[in-house]
Amino acid sequence: MSELRAALLALAVLAVSSGCRSKEGKPSPSGGEPVASIPEYMSGDECLFCHRDKVGVSWQNNAHRSTVREAAAGDPALLALASSADKELVNVDLLLGGERLTRFLRKGEYGRLDLLSTAWTPSGAKGEGALVEAGERRWNSKQFSRECAGCHATGFDSSALRFMDISIDCYACHGDVDRSHANDPKRVFLAASRSDSARILSSACAQCHARGGRSRSTKLPFPNNFIAGGDLFVDFEIDTSPGALRSASKTDQHILESIRDVSSAMPGALGCLDCHRVHPGSTRKHRRLSPGAYCESCHGKGKPGRVQWSRDVHNETCGY
Ligand code: HEC
Ligand code: HEC
Ligand code: HEC
Ligand code: HEC
Ligand code: HEC
Ligand code: HEC
């Protein structure tokens, strides 16, 4: 439990005991209008108390869970920094990213993190790990909140510029889960028994994977207090024009194409969850789809089989 969460819970308990009505069930969000403040959602530890068997096991290795994580003493990025830095700058608490780029973070005020200007890449010029400097080395206490937290933390409140939890928790994709779903699973977003539209399903993923988008109301590069289960496109503007697609990496291209088709209600449009599973992370199910134009960007023309696709190598929003 984060310190911010603990403090807010204590306040909530006070509010309830001093006579405020607590709400009974939670209505699922039907619109996409930004909410005024982040609800007191259930934390992942609470969810996993009941869901540890099926989901808990693979969640340990899920990239979403560990996008921001405690800095382990032997981490190569941390070792490289420690051997180069002046003492004052080595108090790193957390690491962000990994395969292409690692960033160093330090705990700041409640619900905020400081971001170090220096990064580390596992594949530097000589094909080995190397630090990447961006000007004079310094901690920035504003950048993470204004440019990153909406996608690399959970429950980010755009007006307070603070998040509830480090990294990506269940709330990010499942929204504000009603406890009564244990008896009626339909009450939780992404339950197998529901039948949400591709637009609503893809909204949950696009809130972070549509990099380059912007909230109309806050102008920040991530959605404004969006709750999964709602319609992202009400307030989040995403450029899916041919020009934007051309300048994006291969990974971002297939994401933007899918968002373009789904948000414009193109018949037969394929949304993220037609191809992806999150628990455990897999794209095996996409192999069973009928071939169509959408497959060509990765398989070329003709019967899908050969793969002409390479993973992301660059993204401006994330600085790699
Ligand atoms: C709109 C949402 C969004 C914003 C804003 C954002 N990120 Fe990301 N970031 C992502 C997503 C999604 C991925 C994973 C992309 C993938 O795997 O294809 C990612 C991946 C990364 C990675 C991992 C790269 C690797 O090694 O694989 C790093 C590092 C990163 N982001 C840093 C940042 C920093 C620093 C900021 C703020 C300056 C930031 N990001 C802002 C969504 C975002
Ligand atoms: C008190 C126990 C409990 C807690 C806490 C709990 N769940 Fe559940 N959940 C259940 C039960 C029981 C079911 C119905 C049986 C099943 O499908 O596992 C269920 C069903 C679900 C389903 C639908 C499963 C399906 O078959 O499609 C999802 C999704 C889900 N829970 C997510 C969550 C998330 C996310 C949290 C935390 C925010 C959470 N649950 C917290 C007990 C719990
Ligand atoms: C809160 C932001 C957020 C949301 C919501 C989100 N993602 Fe991600 N996703 C990320 C970030 C950040 C990473 C990269 C983690 C890293 O490597 O540091 C990532 C990584 C991934 C990856 C590559 C890693 C892997 O597991 O193989 C896939 C695929 C993916 N996400 C799919 C999805 C899908 C599908 C959804 C919707 C159900 C979704 N994501 C929702 C932020 C998000
Ligand atoms: C037609 C099927 C299909 C659709 C639709 C689709 N994807 Fe993918 N996606 C794939 C496949 C296949 C891969 C390659 C996975 C691999 O390399 O094993 C992939 C790769 C990715 C990756 C990079 C994974 C990595 O390990 O680097 C991310 C992130 C991702 N997709 C997110 C999304 C999101 C978000 C959406 C919806 C906006 C989406 N995808 C729509 C099939 C699809
Ligand atoms: C990145 C988005 C994302 C995050 C984060 C996430 N889920 Fe899910 N979850 C999904 C999607 C999408 C499905 C639908 C089935 C699938 O894709 O695996 C799902 C399905 C489920 C199910 C029902 C299906 C099953 O395999 O039993 C449960 C239970 C569940 N999630 C619990 C959790 C819990 C608990 C957490 C946090 C520890 C969590 N989820 C975090 C996207 C997410
Ligand atoms: C984002 C890129 C991407 C898209 C879009 C995509 N695929 Fe794939 N496909 C892959 C990758 C990567 C693999 C190998 C790994 C895997 O199965 O996830 C693959 C594997 C396959 C395989 C198995 C091939 C074999 O030799 O085992 C089939 C079949 C397939 N895809 C069909 C499709 C169909 C049908 C579509 C369109 C509806 C499609 N793919 C769209 C990337 C993609």
Which residues are 132's β-sheet partners?
119
Atom 20 of ligand 5: nearest residue by CA position: 190
Q: What is the mean pLDDT of residues 164-184?
A: 97
pLDDT class of 4 with cuts at 50, 70, 90: low
Q: Ligand 3 pocket test: which of 64, 208, 220, 249 has the largest number of ligand atoms within 8 Å of its C-beta?
A: 64
User: Residue 12: is its pLDDT beyond 80?
Assistant: no
Closest ligand by atom to 167 CA: 3
Digit-coded pLDDT (tens) for 257-288: 999 999 999 999 999 999 999 999 999 999 99
CB < 8 Å & 24+ apart, contacts of 309-314: 309/250, 310/250, 311/250, 311/251, 312/100, 312/249, 312/250, 312/251, 312/252, 313/100, 313/249, 314/249
Provide the pLDDT for residue 31.
Answer: 64
User: Residue 20: is its pLDDT beyond 70?
Assistant: no
Compute the distance from residue 250 Cα to the ligand 6 centre, in Å. Answer: 14
User: Residue 159: is its pLDDT beyond 70?
Assistant: yes
Q: What is the mean pLDDT of residues 237-256?
A: 95
Compute the distance from residue 287 Cα to the ligand 2 centre, in Å. Answer: 28
Closest ligand by atom to 281 CA: 3
Residue with tokens 């996993």: 48
Helices (H), the chain: 3-17, 44-51, 57-59, 76-82, 143, 149-152, 170-174, 198-209, 242-247, 250-263, 272-275, 296-299
CB 235 within 8 A of CB 29: no
pLDDT class of 6 with cuts at 50, 70, 90: low
Closest CA to 221 of 154, 147, 276: 147
Compute the distance from residue 273 Cα to the ligand 4 centre, in Å. Answer: 9
pLDDT class of 18 with cuts at 50, 70, 90: very low
